Structure 1
Amino acid sequence: MIDRVITSGTFSLDGGTWEVDNNVWLVGNHREVVVIDAAHDAEAIAARVGGREVRAIVCTHAHNDHINAVRELAERTGAPIRLHPADQVLWEQEYGDKLGYEPLADGERVEVGGCALEILHTPGHSPGAVCVHGPELGVVFSGDTLFKGGPGATGRSYSSFETIIDSIRKRLLTLPPETVVHTGHGDSTSIGAEAPHLEEWIARGH
């Protein structure tokens, strides 16, 4: 079972602040879930979780709009916070040394509701960006690495266009074309819908 909560708030980096809507994804069954990206509104996320156990709060990356509700949600649920340690510098911008997490590793499998979610390290949007692949579910949760229409933004600190293109080419476009891509913002898409446009993105330096 896959569920989405859309939350609203702000994203701040490099001295700027922008209003954003975020997709928070819940994956699991009637007993337990994994929350992907605790953004903005812990109360709304906890309400959607209901009485289920939260096995983990997985952060696709540590930009503040994807982690700014993680402390409250972890306190409410007792769930471990999971993040790739390459995003430590961004994590500290939000939480300093006041909040810890359990490191995520490329290739790790997170079990929930009878299925396994595989962690794919996909740097570029940020150094520790990951995507969460559910092969049995036919989905990948792409965070801000891949959207409907192209790669995530790389114009700010700690990001790289060349790196995100490399990640998308090697880690995402190799997935089955029917794989549904559930993104960190906006509408979902599929690997098959995005793959033909890779060279266009490179040409325009999107």
Structure 2
Amino acid sequence: MSTLLHSDDNITIRTISVGGMDNNVYLLTARATGAQVLIDAADDFPAIQRLLAEGAADSAATASLELIATTHQHWDHVRALRDLVHATGARTAAGVDDSAALPVPVDVLLEHGDVRAFDGFGLTAVHLRGHTPGSIAYVYRDPSGRAHVFSGDSLFPGGVGNTDRDPARFAQLFRDVSDRLFALYPDDTAVYPGHGKSTTLGAERPHLPKWKARGW
């Protein structure tokens, strides 16, 4: 059964954890229109089907999966992607620099700052380089103006994503997370990572100097 993370006048946000690495799969469903976006078809296709059905029950209209958005190319985030595309015919989206590594063709190639509009809500792509070359975070703003960031494996409670102890990759990811998330969004911004529990920018902001000093 899915967990309801957020609900407002426009959408609901639900999540499930799948696979041996406890990957988070997120589903946004527009209340009025039934338009859905799924973020990271990570594993367990039957569980994702159930998630789609639970999200559909949140809407007053017939649900339609409009997009399957991938945060990055790593295998544990795309294991159910081929089956989901085959079953639904939904379009796919990913960062330009990760797209060639995905197991299906990518319909929507995302650059930093791209905005995708759906019938009831929108998502902004934030390119966070370092964990992978083309990692994308997706940002939704609710009717109150609060931001919700689906950060993939680029930002977690307690630090940025794995950069294999490469100083250049860490510096790039730390810079992007600092400049493109922490500098732009307020403390109440919700962060939904690719694994584990959610957090907020406010909870993580005081630790930025420590992350920079330790180098991971």
The TM-score range, normalised by the shorter chain, is 0.7 to 0.9
Residue aligning to 1:178: 188
Identity among equivalent positions (%) equals 37
Please list the CA deviations of residues 44-74 of structure 1 after superposition, one character each: whole Å capped at 9, or x if unmatched: 1122112521110000001011111111111
Q: TM-score, normalised by structure 2?
A: 0.82
The match for 2:116 among 105, 110, 125 is: 110
Letter in 2 for 1:198: L
Q: Does the residue aligned with 1:202 lie in a helix, a strand or coil?
A: helix
Residue aligning to 1:33: 36
1:23 paired to 2:29: no
CA contact (8 A) 1:56 1:80 kept: yes
CA contact (8 A) 2:35 2:120 kept: no
Question: Is the alpha carbon distance of 1:151 and 1:109 closer, same or farther for their aligned partners in structure 2, counting shifts above 3 Å?
Answer: same
CA contact (8 A) 1:35 1:57 kept: yes
Letter in 2 for 1:71: R
1:142 paired to 2:157: no
Please list the CA deviations of residues 90-134 of structure 1 after superposition, one character each: whole Å capped at 9, or x if unmatched: 43xxx3xxx311212221222235111111111111000011011
Unaligned runs of 5+ in 1: 10-19
Unaligned runs of 5+ in 2: 1-11, 57-62
Q: CA RMSD in A?
A: 1.8
Moved more, 112-121 or 81-90: 81-90
The match for 2:64 among 48, 53, 60 is: 53
Q: Does the residue aligned with 2:22 lie in a helix, a strand or coil?
A: strand
Moved more, 41-50 or 189-198: 41-50
CA contact (8 A) 1:28 1:113 kept: no
Rounded Cα–Cα distance in structure 2 between residues aligned with 1:37 and 1:76: 16
* CA positional deviation for 1:187: 0.4
Q: How many residues align?
A: 189
